[in-house]
Structure 1
Amino acid sequence: MKNYLSILAIAAVGSLAAFSAQAAAVKNIVVVHGALADGSGWKAATEILEKRGFNVTIVQEPISSLADDVAATQRVLDMQDGPTLLVGHSYGGMVITEAGRDDKVAGLVYVAAFQPEKGESLIKAASAIPAGKMNIRETKDGKYLYLDPSAFAADFAADLPKDQAAFLAKSQVFASKEAFSAPVGEPAWKTKKSWAIVATEDHSINPDLERQMAKRAGSEVTEIKASHAVFMSQPEKVADVIEKAAEAVGK
């Protein structure tokens, strides 16, 4: 009888160890950048996460339409070899709210991002609590929007060194009006656990709006004193939230 109980105990320990290994298996991170910037600004946060054992992939979506950007994200999700944490910054929050319904997505992290309800577009969501006057301009063809380079630092990246903010202004990704006016479908945050980072010094999305959307979604909130470019100015703190979320969805 003793031997039988010992065998059961060993088997139970082995099963628990296997379960623990499986529970900690969410190592894939897919990041969807926001409008007016590309994925290169995530370099520092990516390097931090990779040193912690995560596999990070950045979606370089075209911001030509919400459907195009969701499709670009889906292509990257299809490449992942297991459960994945989906991260979105700013407009990227619109994208992950749609793309996050994919079965591979274990959880969502909104970084100074929009967390829309069903039927909301970015323009509709942003109008709930405006951020103030942003220096948004139209391209000559009237189809795309960009941030006036002379105001980019103040509106988007006030806590970055001047040279970094200047380069972001020069390399910004223009956003189509179509992308900003498209409504989302059933939000992924209604069925997936979510986290939200509120950038308390954000001049692009009102921090109170970030708080309101996160509360509505039932997201776990972390506030970071930073500009809209929190992913660049505070990469360690952003990586901490992403790591915490990855660990939680793996349990």
Structure 2
Amino acid sequence: MSPSKPSIVFAHGLWADGSCYSKLIPVLQSEGHEVVSAQNPLDSLAGDVEAVHHALGRVGGPTLLVGHSWGGYVITAAGTDERVAGLVYIAALAPDAGETPQDLIGKFEPPPLFSHLDNEEGRIWISRDGISDFVGDLPEAEQRVVWATQGAPRAEVLGSTVEDPAWKSKPSWFLVTTQDRAVNPDLQRFAAQRMGATSVEVPSAHVPMLSRPEAVLDLIRTAAASL
């Protein structure tokens, strides 16, 4: 790998796993980046941060952390690591100190997806009729795959907080998804503005890595070139 290229570590959201970045990883590898996509357990913020720290140990620095949705919480906590040079948020929740996901979501109109979640034995699942609120701009066959392979986070993660937000000390970029029905686009804009992130908007549902991968790649390239 070229030493001039930063490494990239991905953190996924609540109803996903590391393979949600499968359309990005081969391209970034071919462009000379070391890439690892962490497999977050989704049991606690601390556990997910630990998974990202392990992933950081698998690549050379400096490293760009990229977090989607709940992954924004994860990189906000993990990004204070000295190996991290910058942060990219994709349709993400990006907290200030002491803010829970519920606090953030409550700042704006609740997204439609939250009416289609099932709590079973302490874990949260997307119902079959809610998957279109998650990945509604994917072909129906791909939506069914996303539903069938979803991760199921513990309900307790919605009460997580971050003590020292990394975006206060590291440069950040933000991709706002304007057709999002899982994280309110206005909440995304609020978070991007608050952190002073370089932001772009794309007409996408909540998982643009699958539906608009080139837009996500372009923002990662911009961020990587700035480090």
> 2:34 touches 2:59 (CA, 8 Å); kept in 1?
no
1:175 aligns to what SS in structure 2? coil
CA distance in 1 between partners of 2:183 and 2:152 (Å):
17
- Give unpaired runs (5+ residues) of structure 2: none
> 2:11 touches 2:71 (CA, 8 Å); kept in 1?
yes
CA distance in 2 between partners of 1:130 and 1:64 (Å):
26
Q: Residues 154-173 of structure 1, C-alpha deviation per residue, up to 9 Å, x if partnerless?
A: 21101111111111101100
For 2:117, the equivalent position in structure 1 comes to 136
CA distance in 2 between partners of 1:79 and 1:132 (Å):
36
**How far did 1:150 drift?**
2.5
Which of 166, 169, 174 aligns to 2:147? It is 169
For 1:66, the equivalent position in structure 2 comes to 45
Q: Residues 209-250 of structure 1, C-alpha deviation per residue, up to 9 Å, x if partnerless?
A: 00000000000001011000111111111011001101101x
CA distance in 1 between partners of 2:157 and 2:130 (Å):
22
CA distance in 2 between partners of 1:123 and 1:177 (Å):
11
- 1:1-251 matches, cutoff 5 A: 25-134=4-113, 135-139=116-120, 141=121, 143-152=122-131, 154-249=132-227
RMSD over aligned Cα, in angstroms?
Answer: 1.2
The runs of at least 4 consecutive aligned structure 1 residues that moved more than 6 Å come to: none
**How far did 1:57 drift?**
0.7
**How far did 1:79 drift?**
2.1
Q: Which amino acid aligns with 1:34?
A: G
Q: Which amino acid aligns with 1:235?
A: P
2:61 aligns to what SS in structure 1? coil
> 2:36 touches 2:59 (CA, 8 Å); kept in 1?
no
Q: Which moved more, 1:89-98 or 1:78-87?
A: 78-87
> 1:200 touches 1:227 (CA, 8 Å); kept in 2?
yes
> 2:5 touches 2:32 (CA, 8 Å); kept in 1?
no
- Give unpaired runs (5+ residues) of structure 1: 1-20
TM-score, L = length of structure 2? 0.95
CA distance in 2 between partners of 1:45 and 1:81 (Å):
19
How many pairs does the alignment contain?
Answer: 224
Q: Which amino acid aligns with 1:116?
A: P
CA distance in 1 between partners of 2:100 and 2:35 (Å):
28
Structure 1 residues 130 and 26 mapped into 2: Cα distance closer, same or farther (>3 Å)? farther
Q: Which has the larger radius of gyration?
A: 1
> 2:34 touches 2:60 (CA, 8 Å); kept in 1?
no
Q: Which amino acid aligns with 1:193?
A: P
**How far did 1:126 drift?**
1.1
**How far did 1:132 drift?**
2.9
> 1:130 touches 1:206 (CA, 8 Å); kept in 2?
yes
